[in-house]
Amino acid sequence: MQYRNLGSSDIRVSEICLGSMTWGTQNSEAEGHAQIDCALDHGVNFIDTAASELELGTEVLEDILSVYRRYPIPF
Burial class (CB in 10 A: 0-12, 13-18, 19+), 69: exposed
pLDDT at position 23: 74
Quickly list H helices, 1-75: 29-41, 50-56, 58-66
**pLDDT, tens digit, for every residue of 21-54?**
777 677 777 888 888 889 988 999 888 877 655 6
pLDDT tens track for 2-26:
999 989 998 889 999 998 877 767 7
Beta bridge partner(s), residue 4: 13
pLDDT, position 75: 41
57 pLDDT band (50/70/90 cuts)?
A: low
